[in-house]
Every structure is written in C-alpha cells, then in structure tokens.
Structure 1
Amino acid sequence: MGHDDRVVRETVPFHRWLDEHRLSRRAAIRGTAGAGAALAAAFGARPIQAAVRAAQGASASPETLIVAWDQVPDNLDPQTARGNRNWWVLAEIYDTLTYLPEGSLDPAPQLAESWEVSPDGLNYTFKLRQGVKFTTGAELTAEAVKFSINRLHEIQLGPLYMTAAYDRSEVIDPTTVAFTLKYPYPAWPVILSNPAVLGVIDPAFVEANGGSTPEERNDFISTNTAGTGAFMLQEWQQGQRIVLARNPDYWKGWDGPHVEEVILETVPEESTRLLRLERGDVDIATVTANTLPQLEQRIESQNLPIVIQKERDGQPLLSLSTMWLNLNNRLLPTSDINVRKALIHTFNHDLWIETVLKGYGLRMEGMIPRGVLGHVDDYPSYPYDLAKAKEFLDQASPEAKAELEKGLLFRYASGYVIYKEGALLWQQDLDQIGIKLDLEEIDQATLSSLQTSAPGVPIVEARWFPDYPDPDNFINAARTDYWPPEGYGAAFAGDEQTDELVASGRAEQDPEERAAIYRELELYFHEQASILMLAEISGVINPWNARAAWVQGFEHNPMIHPLYYPVYKEEPA
C-alpha cells in the first residue's frame, strides 16, 4: 500500500485505529464503563481461573473462534482484492509459495518445499510440495501457480506495484515453476508470501465460473473460493460476518489442538466490541489506541481474563508502520536546511507519543523501521532542544526568514498523523523560537492532493504501512522519480547519487552489503534533515490486540500471514 491515496482508502488496520473513534478520555470511559461493570459484577474478585471458566461457559464452543473487529472485507478473489481487510482473510483460504511464520519477517517455505536463486539474481526456481489439493479436490501443480500469477497481471486490478520486477514464469515440470525477473530483486520470495500477489487458485474453478477479463472483477470468484489454505469460506453475510470452516484435506493436517471454525464479525462500535469481549462472548476483539489504556486498567483492577500482547522475546511488538512530516527541500522556507533543522529540534517526540499516541508508539529512527534489514540501530536522532533550534533559525537565509515572517502554514488532516493535539503542541514550541505556525484542518482528499502536488507545500503529513518487509519498500520514497506529481515523495529530497544507492540496494544480493548501502542512505537523509520523523506505531495496535486468556497459539505478525491454523482454546495453566 505504501505512501499514496491507498493509505487513506485501504490501509485500514494501522490507520483507522488511530484515525477513528478518537473519543475524549472522559467519553471513552463513559462508553466502556458499562462493560467493565458488567464483567466485574459477573466475576467479582474471584481468581482468574474461575473468571475464565465463567466467561467460557457463556461463549461459543471451544471449537469456534469468534473475532469482533472493525473490518469490512468486500472481495475474496486473490487476484483482484485490494486492502488488508481482504488480504487478512485471503491468507486463511489461499496458501502461498512462501509465508512468514509466527512473528518472523523472513520468508519460509509453504506450498513450496524449497527454492533456488540464480547467481545473477534474475531467476527463482520453486519446488512444490506434492499431494497438496485445492478445496475443489484438484491437485496443486506448477501450472496452477503460473496461471495464478499470470491472472493477476492479465486482470490488472491487483497490487501490481509489488510485482514490478516480474517478467515471466515457466513450468519446468508438474511440481517445479520458475520465475524470471526484469532485474535482481532479493525481496521476491517475501513478496510471494502475500496472498494478493500469489494466492494460488484452482484454474478449473476460475474457468468454469466466468474466467478472467482485463480490468473487470469476477463477482462469483470474489464471493466463492478455491484455495489450498487451512480454511474454506463457509458463510459470508456481507458487511456483517464471515465464517471460515476447516479444510478437511489441508496438507498440514489437523493433529493436535485446533479450532473447527473462525467467525469474523464486523462490529463497528467499539463499546459493543469491548462489552462482548469482557463478557466472554467473543474471543478476540479490536481495541483502538484511545480506549486501550482504560481496558488495561480494568484488566489489572478487575482481574479480567484478557491478554494484551505488548512484547515478543523481550522486545516491543512491531508494526513497521511509520508516520512523519515531509519538509519540502525545494520550496522556501523549508528549502533552507537551517529551517528544517530548527523545525525538527522543536518537536517534542516524547510528549507527542505519550499525549497523542497514548504511549503506543516508538520514535521513528530512520525510514527503515526496527526489525527490517537496513535499520540503523545507532541512528543519531535530533534531540528536542529549543535553544539548538533557535541557533539554526538564526543561521537561516534572509529569504527563508522573510517567508517565515509571513507565517508558516501547516495543513493537517484530522486524525491522520500529527492530530490536532500534536499540531497545537508543536505550534506552542515553535512560538517560543519565533516561528508562527498557522494551522488549518483539512480532509483526507485535500491532503492527498497536497501530497502529490508540485512544487508542493512546505510541510505535509505522511505515513507508510509496508506491503512487504524489505528495505526497498521503505526507502523507495527517497527516489527522485517518486517526487510529485509522479509519486508521493513530497519532501523533494535526494539526487542522482541517492538514486544510485537506492537502485544498488534494491539489487544487491548480499545482506551485509545491502545493510551498508541503506545505512549510507539513511545517514545522508538524516544530515539533510529531509523529513521530520515522528513515530513507528506500536505493534500493540492491531486488529487482534485484545484476546481472551483461553486463546492459545495466536502469533501476531505485522505483515499479512495465516493466523488461525495454530490457534486453539484452552484454559490457561
């Protein structure tokens, strides 16, 4: 999805939780107090084991997992679906050649047993598992893999921006398929883990039900499925709920504990989701950043049998979603590097994260987020320092100072990146060094227009949720060919040298060499103060962030991957 209008329209998961339902603290408490009181009355001060047993007694059977979220899937065709709301469901139905196991960002074999890469990085050959069947009963073959990726490119409605490197595919034998790329791209195996890129579908099922037409959605394929995944589509009441049932012939088998079915209920009202979760009627619920602190307090004070996962292996849970402000490097007054550095030094990141993000964020330190190859662990962030900011402002050119005298206009979208509260905090600090920040709230359509206008505006909000966990998916906003109006690089930063580094990093096969290239890029853009980096959203803010204590085996991953196969319900020990 990246940084374009798809962010507004489609990257619902990591955006809407902070963009919507932003109640005041008093309103949030008022809206959820009934839920907490109801559960307290039911459980009283009994220990958690008794609470678990009582809640489970009122909930669905141990074989059914119920998820109450705010998503509204609308297309389950793996070659035409757009947006995470659909891709999260597709990942359960359509297995891919590779996948991201548990919390890993490194691709592992799934439908492929193994793969090989040619020395020049242009050819990837995948060996398929044998004996895998579609839910139609047909065998998985290399022809089906080729059919699926070619169908994506034939229809032209799917996320083709992820497959820009793809040239062609070739069937070597019934269980071997080869891909030829236009240029070396080491991200290719992880890209194939997204079911909207290569969720393998039964070709006979497609051809028997309307086939494929360029730039047209097949409504039957969008609402009926034929994959090789752990689950099948059993019921779909559009806009209300999706029921996924076990695929009895799933190639991994069903030994050990598993749920029989997964019910995904669309529950737009957060107060309703909370009430049902705390009452034990649902097993997993989406809780927004604004309401999560109050829920955590009730979990603590009322001993609620609810788990909020914040860490994995002692490290904060990651989202890979970043938020920043583009500072226009080509337009006064921000074309003056001293002005840019002054603006950055006046931003109080700690206060903003605590006040606006409710603490659910980490300071953004580089375009490549934590956990991804190329992240600079010792990134030299600019400190909040008003005295230093004033020093840089004093060194600004007369032209830049003259523009600042007119006032610095900053138009922000409600609940998008900085939020009104954050803009006001920044405005107060800028006033202390003599910069008058004029604020104007705009809608997201206007914001999208500003993000893609040339020569642009001095300051514009930006955020990024990645399509795949490779550094190229984060650093590509630094390309000069991504400048508006062609793209969303609204900082207008970079030059021929950085373009060469971006191209080199994209193609380099050696991980250490790649990391060195991205370090050079990150430090260059840091020295240029090209953007005001705000935060990486905490991985705690995800659609499954509040789970009943009896839900076991769930592993959140910040990227798209199968979630429910390893899940089962059991009273915690």
Structure 2
Amino acid sequence: MMKTFRKIAAVAVAAVMTLSMAACGGSRSTAADTQDLVVARSLETTDMLPQTGFSNGDIWAIQQVYQTLTRNKTDGSGVEPGLATSWKQSSDGLSWTFKLRHGVKFHNGKTMTAKDVKFSLDFARTARDDKPWQFLFTAIKNVAIVDDYTVRLDLTEPWAPLPSDLSMSASAIMPADFGGKTETQFRNNPVGTGPYKLGEWKKGDYIKFVKNPDYWEKGKPKLNSVTFKYVSDANTRSQMVQSGQAQIDEFPTAVSVSSLKKTKNVHVESFPSTSLIWVNLNNRKKPLNDVHVRRAMAYAIDKTAIVRAIYYGQAESANSMLSKNLMGYSKDVKDLEYSMKKAKEELAKSSAPKHFSLTIQVQSGDPEKSMLAQILQESWKELGIDVQLQTLDSTTVYSNRTAGDFDVAMFEMTNDISDPDEWMQYMFSSTANVNSGYKNEKVDSLIKRAAADSNQANRLKDYAEVQQIIADEAPEIPLVYKPGLFAVRDQVKNFTVTTLGEYKLADTTIAQEQ
C-alpha cells in the first residue's frame, strides 16, 4: 500500500508543478471590467426541464432560471419563503395551504398564478420513466386552486418533508401548458421566474444565462450574464481562472489549492457542504450481490490514507452514507474501518473466496477520482480481485449508472433539500435512482415511516438505523466528506454557494481588477 501512495503523491506533485507553471504564464482577464461571469464547471448541463434534469450539472443550472414555492436557507437548516410567502398544515396533517407571492412574472412577461403552480406540480407528480424525482411527490393526492394566489395540496398521508420537497428543482414552477409550447420546445427554451433567463446554449460546451430585468426581487440580479462553461479537465479549469478566461473554477482539486492560493488575483473559497465521495457497487451482478464480498471490499479501503494522499487533509473520512452536514446524520454509525485481516476473513465466507474480476468506471478529466480508482485497484488486488479501470466522460458514467451498466463507479453526492428524505429515497430505497440494485424491506419501511412522522426525534432514530444497516451491508461505500471548494478571482464579490450546493448568483458582482 505505501508504494501505491508514494506513486500517487508523485502524480499529485506533478499536477501542482503544472498548475504553478500555468499561473506564472497567466494573463490579465479581458473581462475584468464587465458584469459577465464565467464559471468553469466539471459537469455538463444536459437537461433544463426541472422534472427530468438529474445531475448537479443540470440542477445548479436549472436553479438560475426557475424558482420553487419554498427555497433552502443558505446554511441548509430548513426552508424559507420563495414563490410562496407562507404555508400552513391542517390539524390532521393531510393538507397544506400555500399563499403565493403577488407580482411575480415569468420570463415571457406573464404573471404567475395558482394555475401555473397546479400545472407544474401536477406535471412533476405524473409518473414517467424519465422523471427521477417522482418519489418526492407520491404523498400528494391532489393540487387544488383555492383562488388566484392560494393553492392547497391534499395528501394521502401526513408527510413531514413536504415543505423541503417543494424547494427541490423538480418542484420548480413553470407557466401553465408550457406557456403555449410543446414540452420539447419548452425543454430547449425554458421559461421560469428566476433572476436569469436562458441566453444561449451550446450543448457539450456552455450554457449562458442573461439578466432578467423583470425579476421580482428588486435590484437583482447584479450581473448582466452568467456562463457555465463545461470543462471536464480539472487542470484546464484551474488554468482558465489563473489566466482570467474564467472568474470561478468549480471544485479545484485539493492538490492544486496551495498553488492557487499563491496565484495573483485568485483566492480559494471553502463553503460548508453536504458533499460525499462514495463508491457505487452494482448489487445485481455476481459476486457483488454477496454481502460478504461487499463487506470485504469495504474493509480493504484505508480512508485515512485517502484523505492524506489525495485530499491533503481538506476532507475527512466518512462513517456514513448520509452527509454529516445534513439533518439526520448519525455520528454513532459504526462503519467497516480499514482492516485487511477482516477483509480477507469476509471474503473467505463469500461465494468468491479466491479470485474474480471487475471494472471501475472513472470520470475523465478528474485526477482525484482517477487516483481514488488506483488506490481501490491496489487495495482490492490484495484480496485477489483483478480490477480494470475504464475512463469515460461524465455524461456516460451517469447514464451507465441509470441503466445499471457498470460494476463499480465513484460519485460525488450532494443533497438538494434540507430534509434527509431525498437522500434516503434516492440512495437506499428498493427503487433508488442510484440504481445499485440494493433491496432491503426493513430499510424501505424505516424510510417510509420516518417521512410520515412529524416527531423529529422519531425520524432521527429511524434514519440512524437505516445508516447502520447500510454501513453493515455495504451496498455503497462512503469514502470522504468534502467542503465546497472554489477557486475565485478577487474581482468577484458576494459569491455564495449554499450548504446544499446552490449557486446564489443574484447578489454577485464583478469589481474592476487591480
């Protein structure tokens, strides 16, 4: 193992040298005096329809154009008014009434009313194979229009996460009947109520948003435009910020941070995050369907060494598959701590005690995940597992996960709402969108019971039990919790990313660069 970490450390040092050289040769930004922001991003935006967009590359773009009835607080502790100014639950818990904000206009100039809210939520909860967020709406029986600025949601059962669910991008409010467009037309030319509207979208390259002059929050946004530039290679993103081609680099590698901090006119922002780096195992495939195989693989991973070798102490070992910055996280979860002795004992009990092969799918342009894959390859080799690495673009890695076409893959997960119900259902239920094939009736029952219980203490107890079951059965393996790191040029002011990952760009400005 030490030989592997020395090799990885050498790769990391080479990466730092490359970035340092780029910094020395950087040129001043040509856009220093404008209000046009360019963000170099690691994930492509592929879908701007809120109900079908599924990756962070989609969601964080959708949030610039659309808005929801409730919105997440910056610290992820709950929700606050959005397009709804207030809401009230009935005494029996079976309905919620929402008062809508007056004077909100869509990008097409039409005023938002209850008719638009009903259309949007009804569309969101109508079952379809390409809608990954259906589970958020299963308790909604009916969306009723009370008057032009009041809607009532009738439920099949009490549902504690509802106000948080309605802050999810899939709950975004669209104009009724897609504003007179077909769904396909609307998907390519979206209309929302957000601070920015779609300007130009060159798929596979960039998506540009322009200022909404009729935005309901007066005096916002400050920027004329925001461009999310898709750049899969981490080194290239850092070089773009160092040279001024972009003002923000989304998720610079930990090894590059020290170099970036030494670059003139650039600083590194670190925001609290729900980010978890984890290993997804395809539980449908032999021998990964064997709990002893999965446990052996989990025991063989030295997370402390990973934090040191790859993240340079800027992350921490994860004990649970639920983020530590999310309500419901249990610090008492006992994970399968590194022990090659226990790993070999588990494998000896399994259906594949001697030798088998598998492939890890790795996202291209991501040196951290590439190094992680090398560590996993070396760790599992000690168990007699032949591990092949397959490098693919991020879009393919995600689509393969949806199709179940993988053995092992690594992902970064962030929660989109303040309630853990989304994470629980998306990751662990028998219909989970991560498509690991894991099924456990007790886990399903605990998740369902927690969602229907308004007593928070009871919910926390159920969620702690789920986390321990997942830790014991290892359908997925948590690796590290990460902060939200961004390389930012000094000219960018009031740039904030919420604990749940949303870019708060309505207040962001660009000052003249010194």
For residue 238 of structure 2, the aligned residue among 274, 282, 285 is 274
Per-residue CA shift, 1:202-232, capped at 9, x if unaligned? 337622x34xxxxxx422x233343221122
1:324 maps onto 2:285 in alignment: no
User: Counterpart of 1:37?
Assistant: 24
User: Partner residue of 2:89?
Assistant: 117
Take 1:237 and 1:324, find their aligned partners in 2: how far apart are those partners? 32
SS across alignment from 2:496: coil
Pick aligned residue for 2:264 from 284, 304, 308: 304
Name the structure 2 match of 1:554: 495
TM-score of the pair, normalised by structure 2: 0.81
Which protein is richer in strand relative to its size? 2
Aligned residue pairs, count: 494
Letter in 1 for 2:379: W
Find 2:76's aligned residue among 72, 86, 104.
104
What secondary structure, in the 3-state scheme, does the structure 2 residue paired with 1:310 have? strand
C-alpha change, 1:501 and 1:178, in structure 2 (3 Å) is same
Please tell me the residue identity of whatever aligns with 1:218. T
What does residue 347 of structure 1 align with?
301
Sequence identity, in percent? 21
Contact 1:329 1:336 in 2 (8 A): no
CA-CA distance at 1:332 after TM superposition: 7.3
> Which residue is equivalent to 1:169?
143
Q: Distance in 1 between matches of 2:81 and 2:385?
A: 52
Q: Which runs of 5+ in 1 are unaligned?
A: 1-22, 43-54, 211-216, 312-316
Q: 2:324–2:481: 8 Å Cα contact kept in structure 1?
A: no
Alignment deviations for residues 368-411 of structure 1 (CA, whole Å, 9 cap, x no partner): 22122221123333433445656x559x65xx4x841x324443
Contact 1:98 1:109 in 2 (8 A): yes
Contact 1:364 1:533 in 2 (8 A): no
CA distance in 2, matches of 1:473, 1:386: 34
Which is greater in Rg?
Answer: 1
- CA shift in 2, pair 1:167/1:283, >3 Å: same
Q: 1:135 to 1:279 in 2, by over 3 A?
A: same
Q: Residues 104-503 of structure 1 correspond to what in structure 2 (within 5 A)?
A: 104-153=76-125, 156=128, 157-161=130-134, 162-195=136-169, 197-203=170-176, 206-207=179-180, 209-210=181-182, 217-219=183-185, 221-254=186-219, 258-268=222-232, 270-289=234-253, 292-294=254-256, 296-300=257-261, 302-311=262-271, 317-324=272-279, 326=281, 335=290, 343-356=297-310, 359=313, 361-386=315-340, 392=345, 400=350, 403-404=352-353, 406-415=354-363, 419-427=372-380, 431=382, 435-441=383-389, 460-461=408-409, 463=411, 465=413, 466-476=415-425, 481-482=430-431, 488-490=435-437, 494-495=440-441, 497-503=442-448
How far does the alpha carbon of each residue in 1:219-266 deviate from its partner, in whole angstroms, 9 at most, with x for none?
2x23334322112233444544443332222211007x9223323334
Secondary structure, aligned partner of 2:464: helix
Whole-angstrom distance in 2 between the partners of 1:34 and 1:354: 24
Find the counterpart in structure 1 of residue 66 from structure 2: 94
Residues 569 and 418 (structure 1 numbering): CA distance in 2 closer, same or farther, change over 3 Å? closer
CA RMSD of aligned residues (A): 4.0
What amino acid is aligned across from residue 306 of structure 1 in structure 2? V
2:483 aligns to what SS in structure 1?
coil
Superposed counterparts of 1:61-100, under 5 Å = 61-100=33-72
Q: CA deviation at 1:274?
A: 3.0
Q: What one-letter code is carried by the residue in structure 1 that aligns with 2:217?
A: K
CA contact (8 A) 1:194 1:560 kept: no
1:374–1:284 Cα change, 3 Å: same
Q: Structure 2 vs 1, CA of residues 151 and 383 (structure 1 numbering), >3 Å: closer, same or farther? A: closer
Once structures 1 and 2 are overlaid, which stretch shifts more, 83-92 or 111-120?
Answer: 83-92
CA deviation after TM superposition for structure 1 residue 442, in Å: 5.2
**Residues 103, 216 of structure 2: 8 Å contact kept:** yes
CA deviation digits over 1:108-146, x for unaligned, max 9? 111100111234433221111112222333222111111
**Unaligned regions of 5+ residues in structure 2, if any?**
1-9, 364-368
Deviation at 1:420, TM superposition (A): 3.5
Q: Give the direction of change, closer, same or farther, for the CA distance of 1:138–1:230 in structure 2 (3 Å limit).
A: same
- Whole-angstrom distance in 1 between the partners of 2:184 and 2:288: 50
TM (norm. structure 1) is 0.73
